[in-house]
Amino acid sequence: MNTTHPLTPAAELVKLSEAHFPNESSEYRQARNALLAEEIELRRHIERVAEQRRALPPGGEVSRNYRFEGEHGPVSFADLFNGKQTLVAYSYMFGPQRIRPCPMCTSQLSAWDGEARDIEQRVALAVIARSPIDRLVAFKKERGWHGLKLYSDMSGDYTRDYVSAEDDDVSAFNVFTRGNGTIRHFWSEEMGVATADPGQDPRGAPDPMPLWTILDATPEGRGKDWYPKLEY
């Protein structure tokens, strides 16, 4: 966000909006304009947080040479960067103890699959799970994914270091960078159960699932009596 020049107050920007819809009441428009001001402030806050994230000092060096099994054979951790300087690594809840993968993770990855090639114009994207690669590839075909690159952490070394020290089957969202021959951890999603507000599921901000962005724009909201499914 451009912090060189002072920003126009949100209330002033609202006055520039010409949005009006058939048969809306003055009460509705007043409330909607008040909401619009909050949405402008939210957008600015999201950008301030992103700017603060980008300004983080160098993270810890990745000192181990993790090995994975990819869809085309064994790969190193450095190989996951696929020629890019930044790697987004999502740990998928599909360990060998699961009969089927986590429906919530699967829902998120299904959305990401459609964006994978766009994302990879900027950074590398890798989906890592503890199940054998043949099992991951079989589900990828079942789900109709084409853009995501899947990797098996069969040894569990990466998972224990950057996901769960107890090797629990949990999800994780990590970002790594490399430069001058060194790979470093840059950022990880650290919001969870301990940081959740009362009455809300643990989630990050912004939430990486497009699903929630859409439902948050509806009068019903996210709801609590349903869950994503692997089959419909």
Residue 119 has pLDDT above 80, yes or no: yes
- pLDDT greater at residue 73 or residue 200: 73
Residue 1 has pLDDT above 70, yes or no: no
**Parallel/antiparallel/unpaired status of strands 86-91 and 182-188:** unpaired
What's the pLDDT tens digit per position in 78-100? Answer: 999 999 999 999 999 999 999 99
Measured between its terminal Cα atoms, the distance across the chain in Å is 42
**β 67-70/150-152 pair status:** antiparallel
Output the six-digit token pair for 219.
Answer: 């009068």
Is the confidence at residue 200, as pLDDT, over 90? no
C-alpha angle with apex 60: 56 to 66, nearest 5 degrees?
130
- Calculate Rg over the CA atoms of the chain: 21
pLDDT at 4: 67
* Contact between residue 66 and residue 77 where contact means Cβ atoms under 8 Å apart: yes
Q: For residue 199, what pLDDT is reported? A: 82
Mean of the per-residue pLDDT values for the chain?
95
Backbone φ, ψ for residue 82 (5° rounding): 50, 40
**Using CA atoms, how far apart are residues 125 and 96, in angstroms rounded to an integer?**
22
Report the pLDDT averaged over residues 145-155. Answer: 97
Q: What percent of the chain has pLDDT over 70?
A: 98
The pair of three-digit structure tokens given for residue 215, joined into one six-digit string = 């439902």
Q: How far apart are CA 46 and CA 180, in angstroms?
A: 31
Domains of the chain, earliest start first: 67-188 (3.40.30.10)
State percent of the chain over pLDDT 90.
Answer: 90
Q: Is the pTM of this model over 0.85?
A: yes
